[in-house]
Chains A and B, each alone.
Chain A
Amino acid sequence: MTDVLNIVEAPLSWIILLPAAGALLNGLFRLKSTLNGLLATAFCFAAFVVSILQFLKFPEASKLADPGYLWFQAGHVKAQMGFELTPFMSVMLLIITGVGTLIHLYATSYMSHDKSQARFFAYLNLFVTSMLVLALSSDLIGVFLGWEGVGVCSYLLIGFWFEEDKNARAGIKAFMTNRVGDLGFLVALFVAFAYFGTSSVSGIMEWIADPGRAAALPVWVLTVFALAIFWAACGKSAQIPLYIWLPDAMAGPTPVSALIHAATMVTSGILVIVRLWPIFATQTEVLSVIFWVALSTALLAALMALTQRDLKKVLAYSTVSQLGFMFAALGAGAPTAAFFHVVTHACFKALLFLTAGSVIHGMHDEKDIFKMGGLRKKMPWSHVAYLVGCVAIAGFPFTSGFFSKDLILTKVFESRGVLGYGLLLLAAMLTSFYMFRSYFLTFSSTPRSHEAEHAHESSAMMIVPLMILSLLSLFVGWLEIPHMWGHLQYFSHWVESSGAKAVEGHEVEAATEWLLMGIATIASLASAFFAYVKYKKGPVTSSENFAWKLSFNKFYVDEIYDSFILKPLRKIGTCLSLWIDEYGVNGTLHGSFASYRITGQLASIFHTGSVQSYALLMLLGLLVVWGVVNVW
């Protein structure tokens, strides 16, 4: 019991306890005006400071650990609530707490007119706490605690404005889809405890490193484990077939979309896979599965984003697509590329979402980009921020997106050849196209509606985070430049020193790399230009053909799920329950009760109340007895 107290002293746990305290305080006290928001931001910032201190301890320390306390143990299951920090995770911590703080600050202003700010910031801090638990836990079961925690917070935050039925339903959709994904995590945990004897990440790594044990393991164990984790990642990180919750999640307030559905929660799947990389590195079939699923997701989502009118939905599909890029990198055996993109994406996607929030705020909650236009004059700061975001996500030269996307494309070319590269490049071109489409429709030409006419710029508390994120989106990329340019490869260093070495592939020579880089750059610039040409004057509605319909209606995936999977499952189950429980079991019961009643009623036929019939019966009875006695 006393080791529970150990937690309070170690600094790693402080990172978690600080936002937890913020959540508790916000939950208990409703403060005036924006004080709840500022309180939450302060706690998040404090966690950020502690994260920096931890980060600075590397590279002298290779790994920071804190044994924590024994959560529960019975039989062959031992769940230790301990914490450990590897270099790459400490970078992730900086993102979670740093970008988190910026978003908290932004949200303080964005939600300043809401009537439930205390609840919002309590949830937001709780989310940060869970995300940190997910990132810091040394045992997979602790990761699962954080995993489900962010799921719950996501559910609560998406459905934050719960008076609208649509929001509540979106929250439920997110939770249920995540639950289905979580089954994968649970299976992986079962396998881990049954076959590796532990769910501690370092424990598992040690266990499989032992050649004797690894040889004795049935062949399927590691494959099933990896697939199960990937299935869970599909749920949390929105890959096919479990991505459907993310676009609907836009029902929540924009800061939620920025923090949860762009920067942190959705990347959890990738984080877990990178942590468990030594297992994945050996499972080539699983990596293939991951690659092709990711590629399809990236393309499918990009196709859906092409026609959307809701600004946040464009960004939502963009997120799904970009997550596909990250998984594609994993499938290509390049954890560094994946993690690099996680970080750059966190920066520019958060930027894009927050700017979108600023735009929507200025447009008095109008989200339809067809109704916007000309905002570059009305909202200059937001305009710059959004432009920077678009430029970064499209991968214009020297932006952060350029470096991370290029790295991914190169790695994919190395391991999956021209086909994989070509398809992913197509997705990248589509990205550039639809992002700039949204940019031009929102900010160029002239206002197309009343709200756009009277749009106003947002407050400083919202602009400052936008600017900081813009700078990050432009310059973070320089931390991992291609080998041929020099020796700044921090991400490789961080990821590899945490135990995730890239799968050996055939490295391309410098000339091919230049060629690939050139193709990609030209492709994205060309797409952007094409978008400019098409949309500079405003929306184009002439080409609403079949292809357009497919894209606009998200390829009817939700409808297909509903009619072929969800409704049948529910209907069959409830009907079964009705027939078996009510009619079957209860029916049998009532039948047996009825049999008593009927027997009684049959017997009472003889109770006529007439003396004569009683006498007759007596006589008959007597005769029967006499007969029986005599016959026997």
Chain B
Amino acid sequence: MIATGQLIFSVAIFLFCFGALTFFTKRSAVVALMGIELMLNGVNLVLVQAGQIYKNAEGTSLVLFVTLVAAAEAALALSIFVILYRKYGTLTLENFRSLKG
């Protein structure tokens, strides 16, 4: 039986990688945002488990900070998406390449 700690860490890493993969490969901006959320959740999980292992509260408190920033960033990102959609009618990331070169 795998140790609980190891299991949780692997789940966290899996979440993180899955989120990263989503972010890097999906066409839609909203889905990429979901990937970012996944990554953040993976990180949160790692932090909680680390707090559990080392028996202190730093891990969990860090999670609060991360969640806070995640919320703000999600709000910002979604607002940008709304404006982008209004302006360009699409949220496909491939179209937004004007900084190329």
Do A and B originate from a single complex?
yes
- Select which of A607, A616, A619 is within 8 A of B99 by beta carbon: A607
Interface contact A615-B99, CB-CB below 8 Å: no
CA distance A619 to B36 in the complex (A): 13
CA distance A141 to B25 in the complex (A): 88
**Which residues 597-611 of A have a CB within 8 angstroms of B?**
604, 607-611
Beyond A610-B93, A611-B96, A612-B93, whether A619 also contacts B20 by CB under 8 A is yes
The interface residues of chain B lying within 8 Å CB-to-CB of A604 are: 101
Interface contact A612-B24, CB-CB below 8 Å: yes
**Nearest-neighbor residue (CB-CB) of A608 within chain B:** B100
What 1/0 flags go to B23-35 for Cβ under 8 Å of A?
1110000001000
Interface contact B94-A610, CB-CB below 8 Å: yes
Interface membership of B55, Cβ < 8 A:
no
Interface contact B24-A609, CB-CB below 8 Å: no
Distance of A620 from chain B, by nearest CB (Å): 11
**Nearest-neighbor residue (CB-CB) of A611 within chain B:** B93
**Which residues 190-234 of A have a CB within 8 angstroms of B?**
none
What 1/0 flags go to B74-101 for Cβ under 8 Å of A?
0000000000000000000110111111
CA distance A611 to B25 in the complex (A): 11
Tally chain B residues at the interface, Cβ within 8 Å.
13
Interface contact A616-B101, CB-CB below 8 Å: no
The interface residues of chain B lying within 8 Å CB-to-CB of A616 are: 24
CA distance A616 to B99 in the complex (A): 16
Majority-rule SS of A interface residues? helix
CA distance A604 to B100 in the complex (A): 8
CA distance A607 to B94 in the complex (A): 14
**Nearest-neighbor residue (CB-CB) of A619 within chain B:** B20
CA distance A616 to B22 in the complex (A): 12
Distance of A553 from chain B, by nearest CB (Å): 70
CA distance A130 to B66 in the complex (A): 100
The interface residues of chain B lying within 8 Å CB-to-CB of A609 are: 96-101
What 1/0 flags go to A5-45 for Cβ under 8 Å of B?
00000000000000000000000000000000000000000
Interface contact B97-A615, CB-CB below 8 Å: no
The interface residues of chain A lying within 8 Å CB-to-CB of B99 are: 607, 609
Interface contact A612-B101, CB-CB below 8 Å: no
Interface contact A615-B96, CB-CB below 8 Å: no
The interface residues of chain B lying within 8 Å CB-to-CB of A610 are: 93-94, 96-97, 100
Interface contact A615-B101, CB-CB below 8 Å: no
The interface residues of chain A lying within 8 Å CB-to-CB of B100 are: 607-610
Distance of A606 from chain B, by nearest CB (Å): 10
CA distance A27 to B96 in the complex (A): 79
The interface residues of chain A lying within 8 Å CB-to-CB of B101 are: 604, 607, 609
CA distance A611 to B33 in the complex (A): 12
Interface contact B24-A608, CB-CB below 8 Å: no
Residue of B24, B94, B96 with most chain A CB atoms under a 10 A cut-off? B24
**Nearest-neighbor residue (CB-CB) of A607 within chain B:** B101
- Which positions in A face B, CB cutoff 8 Å? 604, 607-612, 615-616, 619
Could you list 7 A-B pairs, sorted by A, with CB under 8 Å? A607-B99, A608-B97, A610-B94, A610-B97, A612-B24, A616-B24, A619-B20
**With A604-B101, A610-B96 already in contact, 12 other A-B pairs whose C-beta atoms are closer than 8 Å:** A607-B99, A607-B100, A607-B101, A609-B98, A609-B99, A609-B100, A609-B101, A610-B97, A611-B93, A612-B93, A616-B24, A619-B20
Nearest 9 A/B pairs, CB to CB = A609-B100, A609-B97, A609-B99, A612-B24, A616-B24, A604-B101, A607-B101, A610-B97, A608-B100
